[in-house]
Structure 1
Amino acid sequence: MVKRVIYIHGFNSSEKSYKAVRFGELMAHYDVDYYVPRLNHEPLQAIIELEQLITPNTALLGSSLGGFFATYLSQRYHIPAVVINPAVAPGNLLQPLLGANYNPYQDYNYELNNRHIDALKVLTLSELKHPELLYLLQQTGDEVLNFQHAVNYYSHCKQLIEFGGDHSFIGFERTIASIVDFLKLNKTS
């Protein structure tokens, strides 16, 4: 039984993202502890921070780069995860962003370099050993990531594919019931 849900935000985002906050409001009605850590831009540091929160009864919800991290952790720790418009191979995707970057949601500057790209490539899983633990929420109108990459990569997983939308996953609230069902969350008494 899931007792802890961790929301993992995406690249250059924060714990204050719309989906993180909205899902947190809904989790107040469920018998779970809800965590949304502010993640470091260093991929391996972010993974370490997330691993410290994982217990045997943990489930994950991740968006974009957070979906990539959720996939890795789900497969490593054998826990369920819902991934929303996830990055499939962020090591390749972030290559054009090497150099100076600014995270407006956390208000800090940092340097994205090849060490970060290499770390993401190390965390990339060539195949999903436990696809039954993953649920893909994908909109085809994602203007940031090629939706077909996720549909193919998660082909053996439960999927909800919506035509249109965008990278933020328009109408996220419509998916709440299916997320709760997939994660088998219990309402508070």
Structure 2
Amino acid sequence: MTGAARPPTTHLLYLHGFRSSPQSMKAAKMATWAATQPGLTWWCPQLPPSPAEAMALVREGTRDWPVDRRAVMGSSLGGFYAAALAGDGGWRAVLINPAVHPARDLAKYIGEQTAWHDPQTRFFFRPEFIAELETIDAAARAAAATTARRMQTWVAQGDEVLDWREMAARHAATELHVLEGGDHALSSFDDHRDAMLRFLRLPHDSHPPAERHACD
């Protein structure tokens, strides 16, 4: 219905980055918060190395989620996946230092890799995964015109892994917050979480700012 208010979000997905896991700082903080929210369905899966398999996993796992009540948060490569997932429709998405050229940037990681939070865990990042990333990227770019309004992007100028200018340019049409300094992990996550929750239509403590800024 035109002009109808969207119902509050009841299902929240979190997607971690390359070599990361549900044990990442932001994922763990969100899991702790989600456990205090009655009625909220929370899911932060361990993503497989294959981008195609990762997208298939989250699509299958959220297949029965209500389209008008679902949201996703993603960091780094997870932010790239979240932006692509938004193209499926219905999703509101928060992207945190999102990868924007993963096919280019991850090509140097082809081969055996170790998991960030458990160095004893090893996996292979295969050459064919680059083509999978390119396929996902093409679809996300094709849908960008209709998905931008449902995405909020957080970019740290001090990101030591990704170029903040590329991230800001790719997601300029979203609700974009460019932060001075900072890092790839967004160590200041706690300072911005309420703004993220508010955008996702989830319970939050702070009140909306008096005015919005492109740089926050």
Measure the CA separation in 2 of the matches of 1:43 and 1:18: 22
User: How far off is 1:152 after superposition?
Assistant: 0.4
Stretches of structure 1 lacking an aligned partner (at least 5 in a row): none
Which whole-Å deviations, capped at 9, do the CAs of 1:64-97 have from their partners, x for residues lacking one?
0000000000122331000000000101110111
Percent of aligned pairs with the same amino acid: 26
Q: Per-residue CA shift, 1:38-71, capped at 9, x if unaligned? A: 1111111111111123222210000000000000
Aligned to 2:3: none
CA-atom RMSD, angstroms? 1.5
Query: 1:114 pairs with 106, 127, 139, which one?
Result: 127
Q: How many residues align?
A: 187
Unaligned runs of 5+ in 2: 1-7, 205-216
Match of 1:173 among 175, 190, 195: 190
Counterpart-to-counterpart distance in 2, 1:85 and 1:20: 14
Deviates more, 1:136-145 or 1:18-27: 18-27
Residue in 2 that maps onto 1:62? 74
Matched residues in 1 for 2:188 and 2:122: separation?
A: 31
Q: Deviations over 1:124-143 (max 9, x none)?
A: 03351220111001100000
Q: Is the 8 A contact 2:14 2:43 kept in 1?
A: yes
1:76 aligns with 88
Q: Which of 17, 20, 28 in structure 1 is aligned with 2:27? A: 20
CA distance in 2, matches of 1:29, 1:161: 30
Return the TM-score normalized by structure 1: 0.93
Task: Please report how far the alpha carbon of residue 19 of structure 1 lies from its aligned counterpart in structure 2 after TM superposition.
Answer: 0.3
Residue 161 of structure 2 corresponds to residue 144 of structure 1: yes
Moved more, 103-112 or 74-83: 103-112
User: How far 1:177 sits from its partner (Å)?
Assistant: 1.1
Distance in 2, Cα, partners of 1:161 & 1:142: 11
Runs of 4+ with >4 A deviation: none
> Is the aligned partner of 1:160 residue 2:160?
no
Structure 1: how far apart are the matches of 2:80 and 2:55? 11
Q: Looking at CA atoms only, which structure, 1 or 2, has the larger radius of gyration? A: 2
